[in-house]
Amino acid sequence: MFKKVFIANRGEIALRVIRSCRELGLRTVIGFSEADRDSIPVRLADERICIGPPSPKESYLNIPAVVSAIEITRADAVHPGYGFLAENIPFVEICGASRIVFIGPSVRNIQIMGDKALARKTAKSFRVPVIPGYEESDYKNGLHHARKLGFPVIIKASAGGGGRGMRRVNNIDEFQQLWYTCQEEAMSSFGEGALYLEKFLERPRHIEIQLVGDRKGNVIVFPERDCSIQRRHQKLIEESPSPFVDWKLRKKLYRYAYRLARKINYKSAGTIEFLVDSDGNPYFMEMNTRIQVEHPVTELVSGYDLVKSQILVAQGERLGIGQKEVKLNGHAIECRINAEDPSNNFMPSPGKVEKLVLPGGPGIRVDTHIHEGYAIPPYYDSLVMKLIAYGSNRQEAIERMRRALDEIVIEGIRTTIPLYRKILAHPIFLSGRYSVKWLENFLESEAEKGVLPKN
């Protein structure tokens, strides 16, 4: 049984972990950078310790500093949140060697699924369908296989994520230039330049399955999340269940996700992501071996606390429920409120929050670390709030989200709130007929008309 949990993260996810620990009766200690000294998570943790300057490389990504802070504060375990060290194999290995429990999956789990090309091979070996492609990173063979697959194709970084090291290639002439562009970007972002190919799917949906596995070999899977509202491979709106998925497809997704998690003996919370073509055929894309930003929508429709479950599983406890007890009730939608300016190519907008009025009422959840007077630093991800609406059905969830977006006030910075107001009023979103390319096409159309949303 843990007594003290170290939180190796910042922002809203750090606050989320603190709250779950408090409900479990666990003390918390947070490692923070100098830029986050006055943040809410730092104020609310039972203990706090500075781990370095504002730069992530010198603080949140500084493994020696983080491990030293864990040891100094005598924490039993570390929760990495998402991003930063959440899927960093050397960090997990050092924690193990130092007898610090990593609240997450095993090194082997991360190794298998962290390399996207290896993850594809693993999925295929367990009869989980993958997008037709080629897993090796040799340019000459890559070009050969691109011709065999037929253009367009997607070049992806094996160690990638968030759209970095990824390009669509429409013809042979583009292939050489974009191959090496992706390789350089992958080296810069992930420290390795390995690439792989996939056939480009027209108008797919991005559907993911949340799951949790314990150390006894049990796995449960949860209702799907639709993450197709995205810009440049960055998710902006997520909802559960998907308006596209019927029970037949849902059961198929459950089966594939469960099989893959069981076969690799997965432990902790994780998410298996699929692309689903317009005919309803799902293809494994990747697995994220951590808690996801969008986990609240799953919590609301299932009534299951995923962060608590992560902690309890790491302590060696069983899941406590079986698959038959996982229910789908109602509908939830999440909008990621980013400090960005949609009218200026989504430029980051750090600065002081001069005024803050949060929405409330039935079915509204707000996960945020900001407060009035808070200075949003320029060093980190632009996410400042997750606004989640829940209803008995999709229409009620949409109506509540629109009400919340009208109530919320954030002054002093630019945010993506005006964009969400337009999206949630658009006939395509309301119909549920969107795909992963819809938002970018919508933004291009709005830009041409000169009517991009402004604060």
Q: Tell me, what amino acid is at 455?
A: N
| HSE (side-chain half, CA atoms, 13 Å) at 69 | 26
Residue labelled with tokens 């692309």: 275
Helix segments in 81-222, DSSP class H: 89-97, 107-114, 116-125, 139-149, 172-190
Q: Tell me, what amino acid is at 210?
A: Q
Question: Rounded to whole angstroms, what are the CA distances from 416 to 215, 269, 339, 341, 342?
Answer: 40, 29, 7, 7, 6
d(CA 211, CA 452): 37
Question: Rounded to whole angstroms, what are the CA distances from 37 to 12, 171, 408, 413?
Answer: 14, 50, 26, 20
Q: Is 179 exposed, middle or buried (0-12, 13-18, 19+ CB in 10 A)?
A: buried
| CA-only gyration radius of the chain, Å | 21
Sign of the Cα pseudo-torsion (440, 128, 267, 323, in order): positive
- In this structure, the number of other CB atoms found within 10 A of the CB of residue 238 comes to 28
- β-pair partners for 69: none
Among 397, 289, 416, CA closest to 347: 416
Among 409, 240, 417, 428, CA closest to 330: 240
Cβ atoms of 333 and 363 within 8 Å: the answer is no
Cβ atoms of 358 and 411 within 8 Å: the answer is no
Q: Is 177 exposed, middle or buried (0-12, 13-18, 19+ CB in 10 A)?
A: exposed
Among 306, 278, 148, 154, CA closest to 221: 306
Cβ atoms of 212 and 272 within 8 Å: the answer is no
Among 161, 381, 386, 393, CA closest to 271: 161
- β-pair partners for 248: none
Question: Which amino acids are annotated catalytic?
Answer: 290
- β-pair partners for 61: none
